Structure 1
Amino acid sequence: MKKLMILAAMVAGFALPDAKAQTVNGVRLTDINANYMQVKEIKRTFAQKVFVSVEYGQIADDLNKTCIKDDLGKKMEFDSALDFVNKAKSYGYELFQVFSEREWKSDSNAVYVLKRK
């Protein structure tokens, strides 16, 4: 039993440095108490991956404050906004609605609304 406990502690010790806490405006996604959140992707020029913007009712005067960041404060990259929507299931959210938002005359982006289960 003692060996099992030591082995479990070692595995946890090696796994924890790689774990990244996802935050928005300094608040962990697990600590958000909002019933709904809005998710948009922020495309970058000449890049395959995107940043994801999450709004849940916080003061969002700066786009930088709505981006998902890791525990070091660096913006996290995702394959798409839908990639984050799939990961949000582990935070207790499910897809509620999708609509398009127009920025330019010929350009529209999907906006995902998630609802707490």
Structure 2
Amino acid sequence: MKRLLLLSALILSSYSFSQTVNDVPLKDIDVEYVQIIGTGRSLSTKVNVEIDFGQETKSISFKNGTNIKDEKGRNVKFNSMMDALNFMSENGYAFQFAYTTNDEKDNAVYYILKKKGRP
């Protein structure tokens, strides 16, 4: 009986993954607005995407950027900003507006999103 319960728990836990940003499930991020920052990758058509929801950043970090994972726990790579926007829409966020910066230090696209269902 104990083996059956253990096996059941292991199977259920394998299906409990959700989309995460830096290991925080998107559904648990309790903020009204989120910012998607997209920068181009050199020699690639893909885009580097960072999601800023006002999280605390560590002063010393061995990771480069934001770690976004899908429901299977795999790192997500976006083909374009539209791909990232669709991902966030599927996870409860609605597009509000976008802007770009284009100077020597920063060349990026910014999308501002609002959590769906909030007034």
Q: TM-score, normalised by structure 2?
A: 0.65
Structure 1: gaps of 5 or more residues = 1-12
CA RMSD of aligned residues (A): 2.9
- In structure 1, the partner of 2:112 is 113
Structure 2: gaps of 5 or more residues = 1-10
The answer to whether the 8 A contact 2:39-2:108 is kept is no
1:92 aligns with 2:89: no
The answer to whether the 8 A contact 1:35-1:115 is kept is yes
Q: What is the number of residues matched between the two proteins? A: 100
Q: Which amino acid aligns with 1:22?
A: Q
2:56 paired residue among 59, 72, 86:
59
Cα 1:94–1:51, aligned 2, differ >3 Å: closer, same or farther?
A: same
- Residue identity (%): 33
What CA distance in whole angstroms lies between the structure 2 residues aligned with 1:114 and 1:25?
A: 18
Structure having the higher helix fraction is 1
Cα 1:22–1:43, aligned 2, differ >3 Å: closer, same or farther?
A: farther
1:25 aligns with 2:12: no
